[in-house]
C-alpha cells in the first residue's frame, strides 16, 4: 500500500532508496539492486548526475549511438543520437549514405527569433493602457540593460517589444510581446529574466501613471514567461537529385518519386497520417537534441504547434518533382543552444558537441533538421517500397531474443536464420522453443 512522506528531499540518497524499497517492494531485494547497479563507479561523475535534479536515486540509461556519413553543406558529419528505438540510428545511417552519393544535404537557417510574453489583465480604457506603454517601453528597455549587456556583446539581445490587445479572445487580456536573439544560448533563463524585469517595472510605474484613476484598474501581471512556440526560429534542410538516381530494385526512379510524393501529399492533408509521419521525423530530431543536451520537450511542443499553424495538423516535410529533379525538404522551428545548461556539464553532451566540430547554435539547428529529414526519407522510402516492418522487425530481433532470454549460442544461430524470413514475436518464440527442445 502506498504511503506519503514528509521531508523526502532532505533524506540522503540511501535513505530515499530505503523508503522506496520498503514502501513499494517490501518482499524483494531486487529493486535496490536494480537501482544501485546503474550508479556510476566514478563518484565524481555520479555526484554530477545526482545534482542535475532533485530526489535522484539512480541513473536512467539510454543507448548513445552514432550515424556516420552525413554530408551537410559540403562538410562530413557523424551525428550522435540518444534513443532507445531499435531502427532509428540504422535508418538515419542508411539515409545518410544514400544521399552521400547524391550530393548530400543542404541546410540553412531562415531566422532565429525567440519569443517571450508578459501576460496582463487590465479592466480600464485600452487607450490609457497603450498610452502608458509608450511611456513604459523606454524604461523597461533601460532597466534590462544589466541583463542584456553580455548578450548584446555577442550580437544578440532584445529585438522588439510591443503591447498587444487580446481582449477579443479573452476578456481584459493584454500582453507585452517581446522578440529576442539569444545567439548560441537556448536562452530560456535570459528571456525569463528580461520578462520578469519588464513586469517589475510595469508594476512600479503603473502606480504613478495619471490616467490610471486608482489601483483597482492598474494592469495586473498574471505571469511572465518565454514561449516554446518559435515559428521564426526556423531552419530548412533539403535533398535533391535527378529522378534516374532514385531507382529502387525493379521500381524505376520515376515510379519511386511518384509513390514518394504521393505519400507526402497524404501526410499534408490527413492528420491521422501526419501525426505518425511527424513522429518519425522527431525520432531523428529528438535523438540529436537529447545527445546535445537540449530540451527535447520544448522542441516537441514547438514543432507540433508549427505543424498545426494552418489550423490543421500537417506534414513537416514536402516533396515535388520539377523538370525530372526530385526535391525533398523540411522547414522546422528549432530553438537550440550550444552554450549553457548541460552543454558544459554533461560529459557525453560535451563529447557530442566535440564530435559535431563544436557547432554554434545555427549550425546545430541545421544538423538537427537534417537528422529529421533523413529519418523521414528512410521511413517513406521503406513504406512505398518494401514496407516498414521488414526492416524495423529485423532491427527489433535482438530485443525479442533478449525478451525470451536467448543465450549467445542461440542468438548466433537465430539471427542468420531470420535474415530471409519474416520476424515476429511468435515466429522467434517458436524457433527458440524448437532449438531448446
Active-site residues, by number, are 85, 279, 295, 392
Containing 117, the helix (H) or strand (E) segment is: strand 114-121
- Neighbouring C-beta atoms of residue 215, cutoff 10 Å: 9
Residue 372 buriedness (CB in 10 A; 0-12 / 13-18 / 19+): buried
How far is residue 315's CA from residue 275's CA, in Å, rounded to a whole number? 8
Q: Give the whole-angstrom CA distance, residue 30 versus residue 118.
A: 50
Residue with cell 520537450: 297
Here the cell at position 314 is: 500537417
Determine contact, residues 28/6, Cβ cutoff 8 Å: no
According to DSSP, the β-strands at 157-165 and 233-242 are unpaired
Query: CA torsion angle for 377, 379, 380, 384 (degrees, to 10)?
Result: 140
Please report, for the chain, how many H helices and E strands are present, in that order.
15, 10
Amino acid at each position: 500500500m502506498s504511503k506519503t512522506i514528509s521531508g523526502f528531499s532532505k533524506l540522503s540518497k540511501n535513505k530515499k532508496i530505503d523508503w522506496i524499497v520498503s514502501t513499494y517492494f517490501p518482499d524483494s531485494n531486487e529493486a535496490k539492486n536494480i537501482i544501485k547497479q546503474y550508479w556510476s563507479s566514478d563518484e565524481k561523475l555520479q555526484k554530477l548526475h545526482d545534482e542535475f535534479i532533485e530526489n535522484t536515486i539512480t541513473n536512467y540509461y539510454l543507448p548513445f549511438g552514432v550515424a556516420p556519413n552525413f554530408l551537410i553543406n559540403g562538410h562530413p558529419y557523424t551525428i550522435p543520437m540518444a534513443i532507445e528505438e531499435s531502427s532509428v540510428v540504422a535508418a538515419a545511417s542508411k539515409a545518410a549514405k544514400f544521399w552521400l552519393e547524391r550530393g548530400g544535404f543542404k541546410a540553412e537557417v531562415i531566422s532565429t527569433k525567440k519569443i517571450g510574453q508578459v501576460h496582463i489583465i487590465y479592466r480600464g480604457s485600452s487607450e490609457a493602457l497603450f498610452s502608458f506603454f509608450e511611456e513604459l517601453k523606454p524604461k523597461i528597455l533601460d532597466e534590462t540593460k544589466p541583463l542584456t549587456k553580455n548578450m548584446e556583446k555577442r550580437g544578440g539581445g532584445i529585438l522588439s517589444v510591443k503591447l498587444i490587445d487580446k481582449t477579443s479572445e479573452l476578456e481584459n487580456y493584454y500582453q507585452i510581446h517581446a522578440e529576442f536573439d539569444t545567439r548560441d544560448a537556448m536562452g530560456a533563463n535570459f528571456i525569463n529574466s528580461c520578462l520578469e524585469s519588464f513586469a517589475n517595472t510595469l508594476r512600479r510605474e503603473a502606480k504613478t501613471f495619471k490616467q490610471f484613476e486608482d489601483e483597482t484598474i492598474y494592469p495586473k501581471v498574471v505571469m511572465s514567461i518565454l514561449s516554446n512556440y518559435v515559428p521564426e526560429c526556423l531552419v530548412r534542410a533539403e535533398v535533391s537529385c535527378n529522378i534516374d538516381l532514385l531507382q529502387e530494385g525493379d521500381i524505376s526512379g520515376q515510379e519511386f518519386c511518384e509513390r514518394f510524393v504521393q505519400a507526402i501529399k497524404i501526410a499534408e492533408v490527413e492528420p491521422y497520417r501526419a501525426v505518425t509521419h511527424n513522429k518519425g521525423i522527431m525520432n531523428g530530431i529528438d535523438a540529436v537534441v537529447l545527445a546535445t543536451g537540449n530540451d527535447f520537450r520544448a522542441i516537441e511542443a514547438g514543432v507540433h504547434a508549427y505543424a498545426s499553424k494552418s489550423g490543421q495538423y500537417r506534414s513537416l516535410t514536402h516533396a515535388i518533382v520539377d523538370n525530372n529533379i526530385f526535391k525533398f525538404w523540411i522547414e522546422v522551428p528549432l530553438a537550440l543552444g550550444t552554450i549553457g545548461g548541460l552543454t558544459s556539464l554533461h560529459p557525453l553532451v560535451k563529447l557530442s558537441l566535440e564530435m559535431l566540430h563544436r557547432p554554434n547554435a545555427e549550425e546545430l539547428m541545421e544538423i538537427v533538421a537534417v537528422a529529421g529529414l533523413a529519418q523521414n526519407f528512410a521511413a517513406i522510402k521503406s513504406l512505398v517500397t518494401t514496407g516498414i516492418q521488414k526492416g524495423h522487425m529485423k532491427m527489433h530481433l535482438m530485443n525479442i531474443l533478449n525478451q525470451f532470454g536467448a543465450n549467445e549460442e542461440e542468438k548466433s544461430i537465430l539471427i542468420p536464420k531470420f535474415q530471409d524470413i519474416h520476424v515476429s514475436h511468435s515466429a522467434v518464440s517458436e524457433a527458440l522453443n524448437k532449438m531448446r527442445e
